Chains A and B, each alone.
Chain A
């Protein structure tokens, strides 16, 4: 660690949906350039943790810090403007815009003024989107929608990209393509938080892993430790 504060950090956050207490004092952080996974069965609070950090479902207690500065209770757009891009589970393609419009509406310089991600570079990385650039969002396949959402996130020139259920519901070949894209994004130095169930694909890419269980962090550690510890997987991850 070089001493720089984490890009985003959650400290002892408690989040509720109405009366239901979902996160019980969760600590989480990710440093610049890191790739971190969030593992855990369904309903354990992975998405809620992401939503809490982004201010979509603000925590009731605890704090959120971006670059070491507290931004608990900040609105979502303020947090994401600091170079954090979110690819949600439901993808959230705008069905009434075409591929090109979905991309251009998101386009902006990064927080440090970086504008490495041009349309050309996006289309080099996603040739399939180039072919379908005139199609409306709702005419795309699931895999193409996922690519478009990732591409749209990159158009904001982020430092951190958050992928919730990166490959869920996608065909095996498309999954391979998405993992390849994730690797390429990692190679550019962008940090990522990835939620997925495909441990075999996920662990080799990630530097660190968190296991979320019943609203708490049950484990965090490097991928190798996790691979050498099959009991952990059995206890928290296998169905």
Chain B
């Protein structure tokens, strides 16, 4: 993973700082919206691991988000009290298993076939939940209580409290970012990045690339499941729409706009897209046209997304700084 230059790191820390103080000063509506965005960010960061680092373009990543959400809903919908640890463990193991099975089949293909297979699997899961009355069908499922996050009967965070939930999700988002940064800075991560550049070459170096791709797929799927779990816990509601290909498509858009292969770019992309979806309809009914125009403009003029623009800006300022230092000599 490209080392994040100091000034960009500073900018990111500043953003985290702003996020940390927002609920104290901001409007409750936006606190809730940002909670939603941060949950989606966890989902898109996991997609960036596949698209931006491993070179696997999954068009069905929302399936794991949805499966994570459904795990919480199916097993705990009527529970009077949901043990957070137990529910989280169950959800993560479930999505890990699902992504292991789907990944085991899909990574045998590449390029357009990989895209089509992941899409097909996601649609299978979507219709499974959509048409199963037992799992709520197209109505979805309501969850009657919030997970109870306690250690030794001591409640750590009240997940029913919107502000508590906000900080809880912020912590998760930072943790996921740090975890994946760590994974990508280890030799394992170099191999993923190398697979994206030239898979045959990695095989010739003696690595079973299938195995590495599968592990990457399972990590990404499990983190997507975590995001789904948080979303279900946040809204106390799940719907088959979570698994639809629209969700997978928008997630790809968020990663591409934010800048692939940076992790934090996915977060920026998610914030940008959700805020645009929130702001543009106030301006015009035909806001989707403006949205489309913005997407086209960013892809054309900022091919590495918003994060790429930050890197270019940093390089430009550095060059100017060097030129100035030279002139001073």
Interface set of A (CB-CB < 8 Å, partner B): 54, 56, 75-77, 80-81, 85-86, 88, 92, 94-97, 101-102, 104-108, 152, 156
Contacts and interface: CB of A to CB of B under 8 A. Distances in A.
A97 B203 contact: no
**Secondary structure of the B contact surface, majority rule:** helix
A101 B197 CA distance: 13
Contact of B190 (A76, A104, A108): A104
Contact of B193 (A76, A80, A81, A94): A94
Given A56-B200, A88-B201, A97 B190 contact: yes
A80 B190 contact: no
B190 A105 contact: yes
A81 B208 CA distance: 10
Nearest to A76: B203
Nearest to A158: B206
A86 B194 contact: no
A56 B206 CA distance: 12
B204 interface: yes
B187 interface: yes
Given A105-B191, A107-B187, A96 B204 contact: no
B191 to A, nearest CB: 5
A77 B200 contact: no
Contacts of B191: 105
Nearest to A105: B190
Given A92-B198, A107-B187, A156 B193 contact: no
9 contacts: A56-B200, A56-B204, A92-B198, A94-B190, A94-B197, A97-B190, A105-B190, A105-B191, A107-B187
B187 A105 contact: yes
Nearest to A55: B203
A94 B207 CA distance: 15
A105 B204 contact: no
A149 to B, nearest CB: 9
A101 B186 CA distance: 9
Given A88-B201, A104-B187, A97 B194 contact: yes
Contacts of B196: 96
A75 B208 contact: yes
Given A101-B190, A105-B190, A107-B187, A77 B207 contact: yes
B205 interface: yes
B44 interface: no
B205 A156 contact: yes
B270 interface: no
A76 B187 contact: no
B193 A97 contact: yes
B209 interface: yes
Contacts of A80: 203-206
Interface centre among A80, A85, A92, A94 (most CB of B within 10 A): A94
A97 B201 CA distance: 14
A88 B207 CA distance: 16
Contacts of A75: 203, 208
B194 A81 contact: no
A94 B193 CA distance: 8
Contacts of A81: 206
Interface centre among B187, B198, B204, B207 (most CB of A within 10 A): B204
A161 B274 CA distance: 53
A152 B196 CA distance: 18
Interface centre among B187, B196, B203, B206 (most CB of A within 10 A): B206
A147 to B, nearest CB: 16
A76 B206 CA distance: 7
Nearest to B55: A96
Nearest to B197: A94
Contacts of A77: 203-209
B279 to A, nearest CB: 35
B52 to A, nearest CB: 10
Nearest to A54: B204
A107 B196 CA distance: 19
A216 to B, nearest CB: 25
A120 to B, nearest CB: 18
Nearest to A101: B190
Interface centre among B191, B203, B205 (most CB of A within 10 A): B205
A94 B187 contact: no
Given A77-B207, A96-B261, A102-B190, 5 more contacts: A80-B203, A80-B206, A94-B198, A96-B194, A104-B187
A154 B326 CA distance: 41
Nearest to A152: B205
A96 B206 contact: no
Interface centre among A75, A77, A85 (most CB of B within 10 A): A77
Contacts of B198: 92, 94
Nearest to A84: B206
A239 to B, nearest CB: 30
